[in-house]
């Protein structure tokens, strides 16, 4: 099913997701990047949002086509990725269940339902006053695990999944921010050449891996600049 009609997109190893939507089509991509204290402040969705990412991020849209409702960034020397998605607001799902709903939707699309090691570890609300995005009705953090294959591969890697869900019913939108943090690489994965002793698959001497704390800082920095993106 499409993002406009339902939940989240499947997560693959390099961050690419696999579904298209029409609602946010033809929004020009603004690749503005501004280095600030080792982090990257980027404009998203044609300048409608801004976010401050951890250092060493690569815009995946410079590598391959990304659906219009997504912005995808990957670490330059690990398989870690951060995805920002604009999704249709799920009215039938209460706020307290919404993050789990999106996690389970991703799990189903990834073919990981019933897989050993796929689980939700925690779901908790966050304070709205901690967020730069002021238009939200609630925000939720979820941590979990999945076994996920990289783009166009069959071998599955163990990945820690960190989700942040912003609910914006006035714009009929759920904003999902996902941090994919691989923890165990399949011997049949193309990532096997990376040093498995380094968290997230970073090779020795490479740029430091992103941390959940850096992900939470990025989530707190997300800001809406132009509500016309929802029209």
pTM: 0.80
Q: Using DSSP, how many helices (H) and how many strands (E) does the chain show? A: 2, 11
Instruction: Give the pLDDT confidence of 113-165 residue by residue, as tens digits.
Output: 666 778 999 999 999 999 999 999 999 999 999 887 665 556 677 889 999 99
Residue 41's contacts (CB-CB under 8 Å, 6 or more residues apart) are: 33, 34, 35, 50, 51, 52, 53, 221
Q: How confident is the model at residue 38 (pLDDT cuts 50, 70, 90)?
A: low
Between CA 219 and CA 142 the distance in angstroms is 13
Which letter does DSSP use for residue 169 in this model? G
CB atoms within 10 A of CB 190: 16
> Is the pLDDT reported for residue 178 higher than 90?
yes
CB atoms within 10 A of CB 46: 17
For residue 25, the model assigns a pLDDT of: 52
Between CA 205 and CA 13 the distance in angstroms is 21
Average model confidence (pLDDT) across the chain: 79
SS3 (DSSP) at 94: coil
Provide the β-strand partners of residue 145. 119, 160
Between CA 132 and CA 41 the distance in angstroms is 13
| Residue of 130 and 188 predicted with greater confidence | 130
Instruction: Give the pLDDT confidence of 73-93 residue by residue, as tens digits.
Output: 999 988 899 999 999 999 999
Q: How confident is the model at residue 20 (pLDDT cuts 50, 70, 90)?
A: very low
């Amino acid at each position: 099913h499409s993002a406009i009609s339902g939940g989240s997109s499947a997560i693959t190893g390099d961050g690419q997701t696999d579904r298209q939507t029409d609602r946010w089509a033809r929004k020009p991509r603004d690749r503005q990047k501004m280095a600030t204290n080792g982090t990257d402040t980027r404009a998203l969705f044609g300048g409608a949002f801004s976010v401050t990412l951890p250092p060493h991020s690569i815009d995946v849209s410079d590598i391959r086509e990304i659906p219009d409702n997504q912005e995808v960034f990957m670490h330059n020397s690990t398989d870690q990725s951060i995805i920002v998605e604009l999704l249709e607001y799920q009215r039938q799902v209460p706020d307290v269940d919404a993050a789990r709903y999106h996690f389970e939707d991703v799990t189903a699309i990834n073919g990981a339902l019933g897989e050993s090691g796929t689980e939700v570890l925690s779901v908790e609300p966050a304070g709205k006053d901690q967020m730069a995005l002021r238009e939200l009705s609630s925000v939720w953090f979820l941590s979990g695990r999945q076994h996920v294959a990289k783009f166009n591969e069959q071998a599955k890697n163990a990945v820690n999944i960190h989700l942040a869900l912003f609910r914006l019913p006035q714009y009929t939108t759920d904003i999902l921010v996902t941090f994919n943090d691989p923890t165990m690489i399949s011997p049949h994965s193309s990532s096997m050449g990376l040093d498995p002793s380094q968290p997230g698959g970073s090779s020795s001497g490479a740029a430091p891996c992103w941390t959940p704390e850096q992900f939470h800082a990025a989530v707190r920095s997300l800001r809406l600049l132009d509500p016309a993106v929802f029209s």
